[in-house]
Amino acid sequence: MSTLDVSEIMDLIPNRYPILFMDKVDELNPGESIVVTKNVTINEEFFQGHFPGNPVMPGVLIIEALAQAASILILKADRYKGKTAYLGAIKEAKFRQVVRPGDVLKLHVTMEKQRDNMGTVSCKAMVEDKVACSAGLTFIVADAKSKL
């Protein structure tokens, strides 16, 4: 099991501020699972418009945070070094609780299947002990410059 700081995260995935939605990797079991922390702050740009006076993290950005965590899990495999993981499908996404400034979002991703250049993962975004979002994601791994 290993951990990664934000610099190590940026070495693996191309996302940068303001679209990097994680602060650290808490647990990484390559090929198996990952747990990532995202500290949600009022300084996030999306809170200016979603929603004024009632700040709520958009569900699509929670899915994006889960996808970024899944990308790290996938790209830590030696065979995918220097590649990019592209989101191919979102299945059965469910939103159960709003995420607000001050929340600590824990992103839990577990590898379900992986073969060749594709993989599926199951994901949960948690606030404290409550599930804020769950989904299944499918990925396609390719060279960063390739056209899918």
3-state SS track over the chain? CEEECHHHHHHHCCCCCCCCCCCEEEEEECCCEEEEEEECCCCCHHHHCCCCCCCCCCHHHHHHHHHHHHHHHHHCCHHHCCEEEEEEEEEEEEECCCCCCCCEEEEEEEEEEEECCEEEEEEEEEECCEEEEEEEEEEEEEECCCCC
Catalytic position from the list 24, 50, 83, 100? 50
Is 108 among the catalytic positions? Answer: no
Query: Which residues are designated catalytic?
Result: 50
